[in-house]
Structure 1
Amino acid sequence: MSISFDSALGIYPQAVTLGSRRAEVLAANLANGDTPGYKARDIDFKAALQQAQGQGLPLQATHAGHVSHSLGQFPGGEALYRIPQQASLDGNTVDSQVEHSEFMQNALQYQASLHFLSGKFKGLLSALRGE
């Protein structure tokens, strides 16, 4: 009887990778909070995770002139621009409170994914040992 690591680990490896990528994007937003003209970006975590799992609906362009619908290569897909609640005079769209909030929420989700992934590995290790 063989063990399929993909089915045994579930979505957690992809969730950890996406969480890490999203943390990088959010950290870049925070670091560029005072950069004139900088546009805040974010990753649609749910859509990127569905794409990574192959569950997303495939999009099709009906005309050759349509904009590409690709989210980019996994991990993380393409970072999309965030719509600002209030634009600044210098064109910067970073709202530090929103960025801090999103960063902390992402950190909690990342930590939870790591915790569940650790539990999956412990279960696999127990199965391999015959416990």
Structure 2
Amino acid sequence: MAISFNNALGIHQYTVGVREKNAEVISTNIAQANTPGYKAKGMEFDRALKAASSGASIGLSRTDGRHISASTNVSGEMLYRIPTQPDTGDGNTVDVDLERNLFMQNQLRHQASLDFLGGKFKNMTKAIKGE
């Protein structure tokens, strides 16, 4: 009998990747906090998760028949954040405190998904071994 990972792991197999992409976006915002004119970006987690779990992908073109074919998962549309602080005159919209809070929240949820997946794999291993 084959194991269906979609049924066994549920949505958490997709949340890990989307959380990782979200961490990249937030950390980029923090890194660009002092760049004049930089606009803070964000992504809609629900929309990105829906795209990842539906299996939507973008095919990459090959310029030579010997190249390995590849595709990448769509991880959601990047949107600009609405500024939460007054403009300081340089046009930068990054609120470092907000970004740090969002980063921490994202990391806690990422770790929760990893822990949940670890438990699922542990249970599947027990089932395979007959324990």
TM-score bin (small chain): 0.7 to 0.9
1:79-108: CA deviation from partner (whole Å, max 9, x where unpaired) = 211111233311101000110110000010
1:15-57: CA deviation from partner (whole Å, max 9, x where unpaired) = 0000101001000000000000101011111221123233xxx
C-alpha separation between the residues in 2 aligned to 1:2 and 1:11?
Answer: 19
Amino acid at match of 1:128: I
Q: For residues 28 and 22 of structure 1, do their structure 2 counterparts lie closer, same or farther at Cα, with a shift above 3 Å needed?
A: same
C-alpha separation between the residues in 2 aligned to 1:106 and 1:84?
Answer: 20
Matched with 1:96 is: 96
Matched with 2:107 is: 107
SS state of the match for residue 73, structure 2?
coil
Matched with 2:79 is: 80
Greater than 2 Å deviation, 4+ residue runs? 50-54, 73-76
C-alpha separation between the residues in 1 aligned to 2:45 and 2:73?
Answer: 12
Matched, 1:16 2:16: yes
Q: Which runs of 5+ in 2 are unaligned?
A: 55-71
Q: Is the 8 A contact 2:51 2:75 kept in 1?
A: no
Q: Which runs of 5+ in 1 are unaligned?
A: 55-72
1:21-32 equivalence runs, <5 A:
21-32=21-32
SS state of the match for residue 38, structure 1?
coil
1:42-81 equivalence runs, <5 A:
42-54=42-54, 74-81=73-80
CA positional deviation for 1:2 = 2.0
Percent identity over the alignment is 50
C-alpha separation between the residues in 1 aligned to 2:4 and 2:35?
Answer: 47
Aligned residues: 113
C-alpha separation between the residues in 1 aligned to 2:93 and 2:105?
Answer: 20
Matched with 1:36 is: 36
Task: Tell me: higher relative CO, structure 1 or 2? Use CA pairs within 8 A at least 6 residues apart.
Answer: 1
CA positional deviation for 1:74 = 2.9
RMSD of Structure 2 on Structure 1 (CA): 1.3
C-alpha separation between the residues in 1 aligned to 2:103 and 2:47?
Answer: 18
